[in-house]
Chain A
Amino acid sequence: MHELSIAISIVELSEKEAKKANVSSVQEINLEVGTLSGIVVEALEFAMDEAVNDSVLQNAIIKIKKVPAIAKCLKCSKEFPVEDYYTPCPECNNFETELINGKELKIKSLVINK
């Protein structure tokens, strides 16, 4: 459900950038969403469909890049891919890990015609 507020934020940020660049539409938007960002990409796409109406993104191609999550063991420093927060380190079985990738939720770039 919160994907809609995220979609609205994406539209707002794009509106702001389009205004800065003095264009009335955006051709393409590139997003990066980490697999542990708390966002379901399919739900975000669905929400974007509605949110882009009457905005600079109305006809934009929306590209969403999923960034795989990578954790680092705080004991042995091993880096390993994870799909959740509670996968222990494959080397030393320790649960104390930190995420180094996978929380991304950002607009990477906008493509405009100028």
Chain B
Amino acid sequence: MCGTCGCGEDNSIRISKPGKVNESLHHHHNHSHTHDGNEHSHNHSHSYDHLSETSEHAHDHHDHHHDHSHKTEIQLEVDILQKNNLLAERNKGYFEAKNIIALNMVSSPGSGKTSILERTIKDLSNDIKFSIIEGDQQTMNDANRIESAGAPVVQINTGSGCHLDADMINKAVKELEPENDSVLIIENVGNLVCPSMFELGESKRIVIISITEGEDKPIKYPDMFRSSDICIINKIDLAPYLDVNIEKIKEYAIQVNHHLEFFEMSAKTGKGMNEWYEWLKKING
């Protein structure tokens, strides 16, 4: 079982460039489960109660074979996400040293992340050097689209995994070798839940919502909106056909995170893209 996501061995994480034969970079977190396929017999009969704070009854010593040893409590107070956070800090240091602005784009599947990127790369080809990391469970489709749009790209396929983590970015960046003074955009796995917990080392997190998704998305999936800096509202060209109030989306989003900065756009028609472009140029220095 893969530690990241519970996927089988076949679903290991792949990091690949378009046009290259996929080299599977076996990206299992190196915890100590050794699955050599030989003779591991998992013993699922845990003898303890799976308890929360409710049952505090003392451990009964009759079951213990190790007599007369005494209990020691090691106080740790350690953040469980520490490993990912440390790696994210390393990525951040690398980006800062190379004056790279890293943006982590998160959203539901189908909100238009890749379309926004395609248009942005084409329209700003004379202004900003982009490089892209694409995250999807399967296929090279998005990486191929980005390559056609004209930016260097690496695809991470997470298999069954539901999010990108800092370690995957660390490896993908080594493949991608983004240029100094560039903008690196990481398109996360389409998922409005899990990616919110995993820092990648980004300078800014950008959440995208398309107006077809419903006004109350921000309060239905608050973690993602809470942890983002920028909110892009996409597909505004569809507003005349829908019963949706864009101001209401913003109102809900502000309730969850009053620091959010908004861009309203249509990646299809180009409406509203200029404000976004100006913002990109500004952060790119």
Contact = CB atoms under 8 A, between A and B. Distances in A.
B73 A109 contact: yes
A1 B5 contact: yes
Interface of B: 1, 3-6, 29, 31-34, 40, 42-44, 46-53, 59, 64, 66, 69-84, 162-163, 165, 193-194, 196-198, 219, 222-223, 226, 252, 254-258
Interface string A40-68: 01000101111111110011111111100
A28 interface: yes
B80 A10 contact: yes
Interface residues on A, range: 35 or more
B74 A11 contact: no
Interface string A1-21: 110111011111101010001
Contact of A112 (B71, B194, B254, B258): B71
B5 A5 contact: yes
A49 B70 contact: no
B53 A63 contact: yes
Nearest to B43: A53
B71 A113 contact: yes
Nearest to A29: B76
Nearest to B47: A59
Contacts of A15: 31-32
Contact of A95 (B33, B49, B72, B258): B258
Given A8-B3, A85-B222, A105-B80, A61 B51 contact: yes
B71 A106 contact: no
B78 A85 contact: no
Contacts of A114: 69-72
Decide if the interface of chain B is mainly helix, strand, loop or mixed: loop
Nearest to A4: B6
B77 A108 contact: yes
Contacts of B83: 9, 12-13
A114 B73 CA distance: 10
Given A8-B31, A105-B81, 5 more contacts: A53-B33, A61-B48, A85-B256, A86-B222, A109-B74
A61 B58 CA distance: 11
A101 to B, nearest CB: 15
Given A111-B71, A114-B72, A49 B29 contact: no
B53 A66 contact: yes
Interface in A53-97: 53-55, 58-66, 84-86, 88, 95-96
B38 to A, nearest CB: 13
